[in-house]
Amino acid sequence: MRVPLVVGVDAGATSTRCLVSTVDGTVLGRGRAAGANQNSSGGSPARALAEALGAALRGLDPAAVALGVIGAAGAASAGREEARQAAREAWQAAGLAGEPRSVTDLEVAFAAGTGRPDGLLLLSGTGAAAVAFRAGVPHRRCDGYGWLLGDEGSAVWLGREALRAVLCALDGRGPATLLTDPVTAALEVAGHADPDEHAQALIRVAYRRPPATLGLLAPLVGPAAAAGDEVAAGLVAAAAERLLHAVDTVARRGGLPRGSPVVLAGSVLLTPGPVATAVRAGVADRFGAPPAEARDGAAGAAALAVAALTGAPAGDAVHARLTGAAG
């Protein structure tokens, strides 16, 4: 008798991860590809999804896949149909029958961090959002509006603010900052003796690249702050405060009490650094317990697929196997 398999996919802005497992949580395959966010990745979401699926399914029987869940950044109501269409195209390209269930990346992140149905998610990676969950589904949210209108405290936000600070230092509107040299080098721009020419060279490169790539500048902020740069320290404080304000607000709006689990997700909060340190301390102080971590969104998507297939929550043992196998 064929053992049914489930597929979980976390399609983010900078990378796409896929996991194939049995219903009991045994991980059989993994795949990774480029980002699949239709709003900011700059490539083909369907192609990236298909590549990740193909890698995870290598050596496995596609006909054994009973259900799949794809969590996609940008799959909220404003872009849901585009995300679903990309998921359908990728599913067919991978030789899978039917079509997957499309959910937001926020749902898979929360499921990756806790098996409890009620709680809070605070995400800061390429984008940023805070979500209150009830019965395993999003109940209230703050931010997650994309690089142009929101995502305050995200990697892209930090990178954009770092670049803005450098431009202000060059044109005289702001103080000198230690960020100038590393930002210039990261954008592969040759330094110019004339500050106006320097600024224009940075602008030309920045506008030629997809918005998500501004997030690559975010890791430069922490070291500059640690070296005593007041501009960088101000950006760290501002990012942490915006993120904590978002999770405080969504907890109040969602009616979730102190002691509710808080799941942290995204590179800004899961990579050691001053923003992560400040946010962790703030969460522990506000909610009375250290936060959990969503290390593997694809595992969270697989847990949602198990729940959808069996009609019951994945359970602690299955959840532990899926998330413990994170690579």
3-state secondary structure of 98: coil
CATH superfamily of 5-115+295-324: ATPase, nucleotide binding domain (3.30.420.40)
| Lowest model confidence (mean pLDDT) among 161-175, 225-239, 301-315 | 301-315
pLDDT score at 58: 95
* For residue 75, pLDDT beyond 60: no
Position 76 confidence tier, pLDDT thresholds 50, 70, 90: low
- Continuous H helices in 114-219: 155-171, 180-186, 195-208
User: pLDDT digits over 276-318, tens only?
Assistant: 999 999 999 999 989 999 999 999 999 999 999 998 888 888 9
The rounded percent of the chain whose pLDDT value lies above 70 is 94
* For residue 327, pLDDT beyond 50: no
* For residue 42, pLDDT beyond 60: no
- Continuous H helices in the chain: 45-56, 80-93, 105-113, 155-171, 180-186, 195-208, 221-226, 230-254, 267-270, 274-287, 297-310, 316-324
Section 217-242 average pLDDT: 98
Domain boundaries, the chain: 5-115+295-324
User: pLDDT digits over 121-153, tens only?
Assistant: 999 998 999 999 998 889 999 999 999 999 999
pLDDT score at 325: 47
pLDDT score at 326: 46
- Tell me the pLDDT of the chain averaged across its residues: 91
Q: What is the pTM of this model?
A: 0.81
- Integer Cα distance of 133 and 254 in angstroms: 8
User: pLDDT digits over 169-199, tens only?
Assistant: 999 999 999 999 999 999 999 878 899 999 9
- Integer Cα distance of 306 and 77 in angstroms: 24
